[in-house]
A and B are shown apart, each in its own frame.
Chain A
Amino acid sequence: MSVAEARITRLAVERSTRGEQIRELAFRAALLFSLGFGFLALAVLLIDVLLDGASLISYDFLTKFPSQIFPERSGISSALQGTLYLMVLTAVFIVPVGLATAVYLEEYADRDRWWNRLIEVNIQNLAAVPSIVYGILGLTFIVRGALDLGAVLLAGSLTLGLLVLPVVIVVAREAIRAVPSSIREGSLALGATHWQTIWKQTLPGALPGIATGVILALSRAIGETAPLILVGAIAFVPFNPDPNPAEGQYSAIPITILSSVSNPDSDVQALASGAIIVLMAILLVMNGGAVYLRNRYEQKW
C-alpha cells in the first residue's frame, strides 16, 4: 500500500464504531416500544368500545331514559344531564374558591409563618388522597352531618369539587407565579394598589393557565365514580335531574357505566359501551378546549 492510499483511507472525522451504532438503535427501539405499548392499549380499548357501542349512539340514546327491562330502547338522558349539571356546579364551586386560595397563597401569605407552610403542604397532600376518601368525607359532612343536604346533586358536586380543588389550586398558583414580577412591579410603581395589581394585571395574565387547569380538573372529576356512589348518585334514574340541585335523585355517566357492566343481561351491558363513548366524547371536547385556550391565549412573557 503506497503512502498516498493510506492517506485517502484516513478520514478527518472518525466513523462511529459498530457498537456505538447498535447501542443507539437499541435505545431508540426501546423508546418506540414503550410509546407503542401505551398507544396500542389505548387503541384496543377505543376500538373495542366503538365496536360494541357505536351502533347505540343515536339521538334517542342521548334523550331517552334508561331501562333495565327494555335495554334496546334505553338511553342515558338522566345520566348525561346529571353529569353536565354536576360539572357546571363543580366549576361554579371550584373556580372562586380555588382562585381565591391561590391568590392568597401566592400574593399575601407570608411563607415564614408556619400556618401558611402547613396549608401548602396540606394542599399538596390532598391532591394525592384517593377519591373514595373524598366520597366518605362527602357522605359524612355534606350528605349527612354538618351540611345534611341529603343524596342530592349539589352534594355530589360539592364532593367532586373538594376532590379536584387541590389540583385547581396548584395549577392556579403556577399560572399566577408565571406572571413575571416585573409586571407587578410596573403596576405598583404607577401607584396601583396591591389589589388593583392582582385584579388588573396578575389575574388577567394568569387566566389562560387557570382556565386550562380548571378544565383539566373538571375532566378528572367527570370520570370519578367512587365518590359519587358514596354520596348517593344512582343508576337507571328514569327522570332528569331537578333544576334545583338540592332536590331529588340524580345519576351520572360513570355510575351508569358501572351498573350496566355489572348487570347480568348482555344487552344492558352494551349500554356501558355507548355511555363510555359519550363520556369520551365529552372528555375529548373538554381537553380540546383546554389545548385551544392554551395555544390561543397563553401569554409569552
Chain B
Amino acid sequence: MAQEPDNREAAEQATSSLGAPASTVDGQVQARKLEASGQKPADGREAIFDLEDVGVSYGGVPAVREVDFPIYEHEITALIGPSGCGKSTLIRCLNRMNDLIPAAAVTGKVNYHGQDLYGDEVDPVQVRKRIGMVFQKPNPFPKSIYDNIAFGPRVLGMTGEMDEVVERALRRGALWDEVKDRLKTNAFGMSGGQQQRLCIARALATDPDVLLMDEPCSALDPISTGRIEDLMLELREDYSIVIVTHNMQQAARVSNMTAFFTVELDEDEKHRTGRVVEYDDTEKVFTNPGDERTEAYVTGKVG
C-alpha cells in the first residue's frame, strides 16, 4: 500500500496513482481511488469537490500539480505546507479566482458536485455565487458595516428584507452583538479581527454552499484567531469549509481532513512546484503521518 519507506513513491501513489480520464469516474473508480491513496472509503460522506489531476501554472511555470483528492461536505478541510507549495494557488482554483490572473492556466478537473468548474459552459461569476471566499488580509469595502454585508445580496439581486438579511449574516458571523448599534458606521473603523469576521459574514450573506478561507487568521492576534476558529466550528454545520493555513495548530484544532503539500524541484531543478504528500483524517496526519516529510513538518522539524 501507500505507506512504503520510499517517500517519493508513496507520494506519487498518493497523488497520481489514478490519472484516470474523467469519463470513467464512477462510484467504483472513486472508491478505488480513495483506497489507493491510503484513505478510508467515504462512508456516507458526500464529496463536494473532487479534484482530478489538478495543476496550475503561471506563464507555463507549474506552481502546483497532480492534485487528486476529494473534499467532503460539511467538513473543514485544511491545506497545509511550507510557503510556495501552491496551497493558496489551489484554493483559488476552487472558485475560479485564478481567472483574474491572465497568465494562470489550470489543467485537470475541479469537479463540484460532479460538474467540472472549468467546463466550457461554466461562468466564473456563477461559480463564485455558490462558493464564497475569505482572504488573508481582511478586505472590507470602504462602506458602512451594513452596506458591506448588503453588497453581495444586492448585486445578486436577492429579494427580501435587507435588514433581516444583514442581521442574519452578522449573527452567523458572530458579530451582531458587537456592531448592532453602529451598522451605519464605516467598516474601516473596526478592529482587524472584527473586520475579518465582517468579511466572513459578508461571504455568508449570499448564502453560499462552500466557504474558502485563504489564511484567514494570518493577520490577526491569538484572541481574534480563537474567535474565528470557534466560528468555523459552528459554521461547519451548515457549510463546507476549505482553509489554507500556515498555522499547524490551527489545522489540528479545526479541521477534519488535512492535505499536506510540499515543494519539489522539477527535473532540471529550475522551478519549484507544489505537490500533495498526504491527504487524510487530520488526526492521522498529525499523530500518525504516513510520510516522513509530513511528520517532519507537523512536528516542527522543518518548515
Contacts and interface: CB of A to CB of B under 8 A. Distances in A.
Interface of A: 110, 112, 180, 182-194, 196, 200-201, 204-205, 299-301
B155 A196 contact: yes
B97 A190 contact: no
Q: Can you list the 9 inter-chain pairs with the closest CB atoms, starting with the nearest?
A: A191-B129, A182-B139, A190-B152, A189-B133, A192-B155, A186-B139, A191-B128, A196-B155, A193-B125
A187 B151 CA distance: 8
Given A110-B102, A183-B141, A201-B141, A188 B151 contact: no
B240 interface: no
A110 to B, nearest CB: 7
A186 B155 contact: no
Q: Of B97, B129, B141, B203, which is in contact with the most chain A CB atoms at under 10 Å from its CB?
A: B141
A200 B100 contact: no
Contacts of A301: 142
Contact of B95 (A182, A189, A299): A189
B110 to A, nearest CB: 16
Contact of B139 (A112, A185, A200, A204): A185
B262 to A, nearest CB: 27
B125 A186 contact: no
A200 B128 contact: no
B282 interface: no
A192 B156 CA distance: 7
Interface in B56-93: none
A299 B143 CA distance: 11
A193 B156 CA distance: 9
Contacts of B151: 187, 190, 192, 200
Nearest to A188: B128
Contacts of A182: 135, 137, 139
Contact of A188 (B97, B140, B188, B203): B97
A190 B127 CA distance: 10
B126 interface: yes
A194 B124 CA distance: 10
A190 B133 CA distance: 8
B199 interface: yes
11 contacts: A180-B139, A182-B139, A187-B151, A188-B100, A190-B151, A190-B152, A190-B202, A190-B203, A191-B130, A192-B156, A300-B188
B135 A185 contact: yes
A190 B139 contact: no
Nearest to A194: B125
A185 B100 contact: yes
B156 A191 contact: yes
A196 B129 CA distance: 14
Contacts of A188: 97, 100, 125, 128
Interface in B242-283: none
B132 interface: yes
B16 interface: no
B90 to A, nearest CB: 16
A182 B97 CA distance: 12
Given A190-B152, A192-B152, 18 more contacts: A110-B102, A182-B139, A183-B139, A185-B133, A185-B139, A186-B199, A187-B141, A187-B151, A189-B97, A190-B128, A190-B155, A190-B206, A191-B128, A194-B125, A200-B155, A201-B141, A205-B142, A300-B188
Contacts of A300: 188
Contacts of B125: 188, 191-194
Contacts of B199: 186
